[in-house]
Amino acid sequence: MTERQEFEATDIAASTDPKFVAPERKVFMRTYGCQMNVYDSNRMTDVLGPQGYTATENLEDADLVILNTCHIREKAAEKVYSELGRIRKVKEARALDGKDMMIGVAGCVAQAEGEEISRRAPIVDMVFGPQSYHRLPKILAEAATGKTVIETEFDIDAKFEHLSAQAAQPERKRAPAAFLTVQEGCDKFCTFCVVPYTRGAEVSRSVEQIVTEAGQMAAGGVREITLLGQNVNGWHGKAPDGSTWGLGRLVRRLSEIEGLDRLRYTTSHPRDMDDELIDAHRDLKTLMPYLHLPVQSGSDKILAAMNRKHTRDEYFRLIDRIRDASPDIALSCDFIVGFPGETDQDFQDTMDLIRRVEFGSAFSFKYSQRPGTPGATMTDQVPEDVKSARLAELQALVANQQTAFNASRMGMTCDVLFERKGRNTGQIVGKSPWLQPVPVDGPDSLIGTIQPVEITGIGSNSLFGRLVAGHHASVSSTDAIKEAVFDA
């Protein structure tokens, strides 16, 4: 066993051994960016629990602060340094009271910036990339000696082994909906994107690892799982018999888990949307009628410059196949406007694609240069005012389509998974099959259950409804069993 493997074995034992007791401390976790970062932050909190850390939302109370960063947005690193400046003042104020505060920067900015972070922000004790959080006990121990720890090696297999070790622990009560990472990294190398450089090459977890973790989540009360990956439909995992499965076969296997009623996955690439996965949308009631399938541009010239390796016509044909399999599906998308060389006609090609596809929702952004990517060095950068005008025009069109899609749900009765209390007294909020939030008047006892709701109103992002009389109960039989287990 190598020294690193010994460290990793120690990390897993320290973060999962129920006999391990540590003094009570508080951690403040700030998460930026994607859903995978949300998942990673939750797993970091799990790792820190046996070390005596409980989560706090009050920065001033924190013994440990971790910024889990994202490098996708414009000026991402500068925003992190600005936040560190604010944290420095809190650390200094705590020091006057004789209290220490350790500071860590995690995630993709940490991976990209490395030692530059500790140079520009000496208050940072730990810098570690997205493949290293499972080694937090070791990292914390080293940082406690006064050493600034930089941990940015790619060791995703060790991270996946750690996730599997966590999943093998006794079940605990969980929220009704949760994320589950099945794949990380990307091999596509789109010219605008930093993911291959900050998350590494595509790596897929095994079928056994995923099914085990999903089963533990369901046993803990999770009714809906969203499978996560930078290129999630590129997942190809090893099965127990040594064969390799694709995502379509995986969701069929996960649909067999008792108590797991809903499945989603994000984010997908058009090149990896195969027949097996499309057929799963046709066949599985557990696979929700929602698909986020980024196209980025409607111009073949810009798609080629982005290295997307698909054309607009190929995207149209793919959408037709998906809608043939699942006519009621809500389609979501990503768009980048103002990529280098984008002309007015290129932009109008994108607007034409949006009109023809008709999306239920979309995320849209102005192109921003990411250091180290091919796009950052391209000539013919689009002026900022042009990008802003195009973005506003595109977002107005998408907003109209989203309103039209929501309006098409009026009068329907659909199943809603209730996840939390609403803003108003006596209100609970759930999620529709198409991912919109749905607030209704109802008792808190329905949180964690799936109930039929009649849609009576719409908002820009939400659906409003009322519970169908005579159908709801406080808990299902499965939920009652789980409650008995947790109350024992």
Distance CA(133)–CA(466), nearest Å, equals 43
Contacts of 175 (CB under 8 A, 6+ apart): 221, 222, 419
Structure tokens given for 171: 């079940």
For the chain, the straight-line distance linking the first and the last C-alpha, in angstroms and rounded, comes to 41
108 annotated ligand binder: yes
Choose among 335, 327, 455, 349: nearest CA to 391.
335
* Residue type, position 456, single letter: T
In the block, tokens 């999620």 appear at: 431
What are the structure tokens assigned to 290, written together?
Answer: 């929602």
- How far is it, in rounded angstroms, from Cα 199 to Cα 69? 12
Two tokens at 108? 């993709």
Token digits for 59? 């920065």
Q: Are strands 183-184 and 203-204 parallel, antiparallel or unpaired?
A: antiparallel
CB atoms within 10 A of CB 419: 18
Residue 281 near residue 321 (C-beta atoms within 8 A): no
Ligand-binding site membership of 34 (annotated): yes
Exposed / middle / buried, residue 235 (Cβ in 10 Å: 0-12, 13-18, 19+): buried
H-assigned helices in 106-230: 108-113, 115-120, 136-143, 156-167, 195-198, 207-219
Asked whether the beta carbons of 27 and 34 are under 8 A apart, the reply is no
190 is in an annotated binding site: yes
Can you tell me the distance from the alpha carbon of 231 to that of 61, in angstroms, rounded to the nearest whole number?
37
Residue 294: CB atoms within 10 Å: 20
- Taking Cα atoms as reference points, which of 261, 259, 268, 213 lies closest to residue 235? 268
Sequence ranges of the binding site: 34, 70, 108, 186, 190, 193
Binding site for [4Fe-4S] cluster, by residue number, is 34, 70, 108, 186, 190, 193
